[in-house]
Structure 1
Amino acid sequence: MGFVAVYLSEPLLGGFVTGSSLTIITSQMKYLLGLKIPRHEGVGSFILTWVDLFRHIRNTNICDLLTSLVALAIIVPVKELNERYKERLKAPFPIELLVVIAATLISHYFDFERRYKAAVCGDIPTGFRKPTVPDFSLFPSLALDALPIAVIGFAMTVSLAEIFGKKHGYAVSANQEMIAIGMCNLIPSFFYCFASSAALTKTLLKESTGSQTQVSGLVTSLVLLLVLLWISPLFYSLQTSILGVVTIVNLRGGLRRFRDTPRMWQLSKLDTAVWWATMLCSTLVTTEIGLLVGVCFALLCIIFRTQRPRATLLGRVRDREVYEDQAAYKQLSSISNIKIFRFECSLYYANKDYFKAVLYQKTGLNPVLLAASLGNRARPEPGSSRGCCGCPRQGRSRAESPPGDACAPSPDMHTLILDCGAMQFIDTVGLSALKETHHDYEEVGVQVLLANCNPSIRQRLREGGWAGRAGGAGGQLAFHSIHDAVQFAESRRRGDSRDKRAAPPEPEEQQDFQVSL
């Protein structure tokens, strides 16, 4: 089941982290201000929380607000210095721990709770509950809720692992992570524990303090064990605003991703759209729905990219057997009466119509219109300004005319070469479109050759009958390179020219047909 992590792209994860950071910061604002407002969950909790914050802003506790500002003024500069000089420091300065200890002592001795009504942690229960076997009779009613919790928890865990794995240069096994998180939920289920997954806040906190191995998890577990058993009463006077400050400060890394969006927009507009869609949905709706929307939107972007891919005509690099895009490179030489067309995507049912339309536009020849005009129209008079299909030769340019309705001029090519190097696969609909294209161009006297086909595409062509249709003329299936196809087309054209010179004169009707063709 670890394959699910494949669909978590980097822009998606970046938007998810930023949206989650905004949600967590919003949930901590009431502690910084010392407000007692209800906790909102579900759709729209972000907006509802801010509405309540502004509605009760007049009830802000001045003591909590000043404590939060002082803590921010101390923690943020030290954290920045830790990041700037982390290569020189053997260990980062533990400013959060010192602030928590100092704030607890100050709050206790100055009695902030009684004198200023400050919000403190209060009594924290100690000890563990006795292990108990879960009630199996509840399983049917909990199954539907357990499934999305498990999937979302796994996705959040793997997404965070991928982010920090890329940052620190190590590989992440999604299957191993799934087994680990499964065991982390199976064993604690006997101790009345909550369902667990990777937490963004705690992960950022540990990463910012320099944790690198599982030893940090062992230390954390021992500290929590000490707190649960003996130390927790000592945190009675700790203000909750201090905990909120520590949380918010360690989320600033997620907010810095806003600075990367302009550069991301220059590199890829679709990736930027995925980032913003995931971020906005994670913030304004819920983090779970935001993650789902991000995955779906990313998949739609992939479909959009393959539905209208780049298509170009190729020219030859002088004195070399290399062919490149004529729109991207200069000083490329065109080959007389031969068009080389590259479709930079796999050919399948969603883009087969676009394939034909852009092919007709790039080559300047619509074989369907040309075949129809040849069947219904006589040869144009000499000196006529109209093509063989009756369309004006001058006027609207090819770039201005729509691809599907391109004018059908007199064909200036005898061979069309399709570069299939960028095609990874061809489905049955795409194969039918390819065979139709071959048939349509063959009807107007233009042979169609394939080049750079990978083995899977050649196998699909054999199974689909392309070899049988194309093999009648030259016996070829597809060429291994564009240059081989060009040489074949030129040699075959020269052979046809010699045969025509040696043949007797043809009837007048057939000569007229060849001239118009």
Structure 2
Amino acid sequence: MAGVYQVAMGFFQVGFVSVYLSDALLSGFVTGASFTVLTSQAKYLLGLSLPRSGGVGSLITTWIHIFRNIHKTNICDLITSLLCLLVLLPTKELNERFKSKLKAPIPTELIVVVAATLASHFGKLNEKYNTSVAGHIPTGFMPPKAPDWNLIPNVATDAIAMSIIGFAITVSLSEMFAKKHGYTVRANQEIAALAKTLVKESTGCQTQLSSVVTALVLLLVLLVIAPLFYSLQKSVLGVITIVNLRGALCKFKDLPKMWKVSRMDTVIWFVTMLSTALISTEIGLLIGVCFSMFCVILRTQKPESSLLGLVEESEIFESTSAYKNLQANPGIKIFRFVAPLYYINKECFKSALYKKTLNPILVKAAQKKAAKRKIKKETVTVSGIQDEVSVKLSHDPLELHTIVIDCSAIQFLDTAGIHTLKEVRRDYEAIGIQVLLAQCNPSVKDSLVRGEYCKKEDESFFYSVHEAIAFAEECQNQKGICFPNGLSLSSDQLDK
């Protein structure tokens, strides 16, 4: 049933969900799943007969059973496991190190299986030491028959969940190995089994021809040679599976480097790995995806913001906190916000903007307090002429008169973001500071136009920061002298 759903998912092209599976998430998931596979094989290495554990917390339950029954360990199986490990691990490393020089990898697994089967058969290990062997393996194929359609209502819901998890496992494995070996995958057509894929990749399989060879060997085993493996110890098969998991388990060596590059990705890796291993592969993958999306929200909730300066002899503006010797424009502040502007981070946007420029609300409040005070008048008598001076004028050329918001790093806006920009512009204009928007992408510009940010499209939008600054300087030159409160008077008004 799950297979039917997976085929339907491929038919309806739902592979786009693979974009939500980050590299850190995929790596953590595969490592966690490897612990689950390793745990399932551990009992065979010790020759223990334990009840099968499934569902949530199966890894912990299995290890509890193992330690409770550790005194029942079959010494012969344990010795066989250790010998197989001593043979397989070095040869695997040799195959990996000299794979460019070897025409074909050394078939160590096949050699070990044949040798172990012969040793177990002629040494009569099962009769003498009660080792766990493969036992009777039936040959041939079961006759095909139609499924019991009465069971479909009972399994349909579980099959949907299994198909989604299976699809995610398929995509995660495919993308992990595609990245490792330098090719691309199509999420709508890839298929990969967890244990088989890990084993095949570690043995050097690179093309789909390996599946043909595998199918032919399985066919030969099922039809002819299956009874020959009657005496093969299960511990040998368990060791082969565990050894081929070493690639996924070696991901721990990459953690220090990952931590230096991105601490957030490292945390995602650990959360996904631990939840996959300790809870279950299905729930672990779901937790990893949800946590990864939560981390994306956190990153946009408090993004980077900075003031910009002009690179000498260019029209390029960069962060003044990241680069030195940048030129600042008198009376103009250039602010960059590196994230989408939406309901989650709107307050962060305003807070960062006010902190790096000035808070128009506090300035407006100060102006209102000053207006309530009585204006002290100084009377000066010179040659019978009396002048009343109520306000001292300031001709400081560094007085802030324009804020340019560099929107190049704002990917999109929602209604809350549009309202925030309107509010910011209104507050600044109330104290005589104009707000200009530069380098808006088409999506942001269309959102602002539809949101009626301005009456005319060309009023506040500029193709570049340099163009916005030129416009601001031209406006300031036309207006004349700037006052401390942001107001300005032309030369004609001053003469009056």
**CA shift digits 1:81-122 (9 cap, x unpaired):** 000000000100000100000000000000000101111000
- Counterpart of 1:42 in structure 2 is 55
Within the candidate set 30, 45, 49, 1:17 is matched to 30
Which of 348, 355, 370 is the matching residue for 2:363?
Answer: 370
2:464 matched residue in structure 1: 481
* CA distance in 1 between partners of 2:183 and 2:311 (Å): 42
Distance (Å, rounded) in 1 between the aligned partners of 2:145 and 2:370: 90
**1:192 equivalent in structure 2:** none
* In the alignment, structure 1 residue 465 sits paired with structure 2 residue 459: no
How many positions carry a matched residue from both structures? 454
Aligned-pair CA distance for 1:416: 0.4
Task: Return the letter of the residue paired with 2:490.
Answer: K
Greater mean alpha carbon deviation, residues 369-378 or residues 427-436:
369-378
Does residue 495 of the first structure (1) align with residue 471 of the second (2)?
Answer: no
Measure the CA separation in 2 of the matches of 1:76 and 1:435: 66
1:17-96 equivalence runs, <5 A: 17-96=30-109
Tell me, yes or no, if the aligned pair for 2:301 and 2:344 is still in contact at 8 Å: yes
Q: Which residue in the other structure is 1:155 paired with?
A: 168
Q: CA deviation at 1:323?
A: 0.8
**Using the alignment, how far apart are the partners of 1:157 and 1:503 within structure 2?**
75
Distance 2:40 2:308 in 1: 57
Aligned equivalent of 2:135: 122
Q: Aligned partners of 1:447, 1:276: CA distance in 2, in Å?
A: 48
What is the Cα deviation at residue 502 of structure 1? 2.5
**Deviation for aligned residue 1:53:** 1.4
Corresponding residue SS for 2:71: helix
> In 2 relative to 1, CA 494–42 (structure 1 residues): closer, same or farther, beyond 3 Å?
same
Q: Trace 1:125-144 onto structure 2 (pairs within 5 A).
A: 125-144=138-157
Residue identity in the other structure for 2:475: R
1:425 to 376, 397, 412: 412
Distance in 2 separating the partners of 1:158 and 1:432: 40
- Counterpart of 1:212 in structure 2 is 206
Offset of residue 505 of structure 1: 4.6
Stretch deviating more after TM superposition (149-158 or 235-244):
149-158
**1:324-343 to 2 correspondences below 5 Å:** 324-343=318-337
Identity, % of aligned positions: 55
Paired residues for 1:303-382 under 5 Å = 303-363=297-357, 365-378=358-371
Instruction: State how far apart, in whole Å, the 1-side matches of 2:374 and 2:230 are.
Output: 98
1:451 to 426, 438, 455: 438
1:302 aligns with 2:296: yes
The residue type paired with residue 166 of structure 2 is G
Flag the 1:294–1:381 CA change in 2: closer, same or farther, 3 A.
farther
Over 3 Å counting, the alpha-carbon distance change for 1:436 and 1:453 in structure 2 is: same
**Cα distance in structure 2, aligned partners of 1:504 and 1:55:** 94
The equivalent residue for 1:267 is 261
What is the CA–CA distance in structure 1 between the aligned matches of 2:268 and 2:375, rounded to whole Å?
Answer: 57
- 1:177-216 pair list within 5 angstroms: 177=190, 198-216=192-210
Please tell me whether the aligned partners of residues 308 and 320 of structure 2 are also in contact (alpha carbons under 8 angstroms).
yes
Rounded to whole Å, the distance in 1 between the matches of 2:280 and 2:447 is 45
Which amino acid is the alignment partner of residue 219 of structure 2? L
CA distance in 2, matches of 1:23, 1:381: 80
C-alpha distance in structure 2 between counterparts of 1:167 and 1:203, whole Å: 14
Deviations 1:234-253 (A, max 9, x none): 00000000001000100011
TM-score, length basis structure 1: 0.85
> What is the match of residue 440 of structure 1?
427
SS at match of 1:416: strand
Cα distance 1:380–1:491, how it changes in 2: closer, same or farther (>3 A)? farther
* Letter aligned with residue 79 of structure 1: K
Aligned counterparts, 1:500-515, within 5 A: 500-505=490-495
- Give the SS at the match of 2:403: strand
Partner of 2:401 in structure 1?
414
Name the residue aligned to 1:396.
none
Shift of 1:459: 1.6
Match of 1:7 in 2: 20
- Which residue does the alignment assign to 1:510? none
Q: What is the CA-CA distance between 1:326 and the residue it aligns to?
A: 0.5
Distance 1:20 1:381 in 2: 77
TM-superposed CA distance for 1:128, in Å, is: 1.0
Deviation at residue 380 of structure 1 after TM alignment:
11
Alpha-carbon distance between aligned partners in 2 of 1:504 and 1:228, rounded to the nearest angstrom? 102
Which amino acid is 2:319 matched to?
D
Q: 1:239 to 1:137 in 2, by over 3 A?
A: same
- 1:372 CA drift (Å): 2.0
Classify the secondary structure of the residue corresponding to 1:467.
coil
Tell me the TM-score normalized by structure 2. 0.89
Question: How far off is 1:2 after superposition?
Answer: 1.2
CA shift for structure 1 position 143: 0.7
Alpha-carbon RMSD across the aligned residues, in angstroms, is 1.7
Give secondary structure in 2 for the equivalent of 1:333: coil
1:199, CA displacement in angstroms?
2.5
Quick one: distance in 2 between partners of 1:158 and 1:381?
74
Of 227, 244, 249, the residue aligned with 2:243 is: 249
In the alignment, structure 2 segments of 5+ residues that lack a partner are 1-13, 377-397, 482-488
The 5-angstrom pairing of residues 93-104 of structure 1 reads 93-104=106-117
Deviation at 1:167, TM superposition (A): 1.3
Q: Distance in 2 between matches of 1:262 and 1:53?
A: 32
Alpha-carbon distance, 1:373 to partner:
2.2
State the 1:215 CA deviation.
1.2
Partner of 1:222: 216
Separation in structure 1 between the aligned mates of residue 284 and residue 169 of structure 2, nearest angstrom: 11
Q: 1:466-516 CA distances to partner (integer Å, 9 max, x unpaired)? A: 231x77xxx62311110111111111101101772233556xxxxxxxxxx
Partner residue, 1:388: none
CA distance in 2, matches of 1:83, 1:348: 50
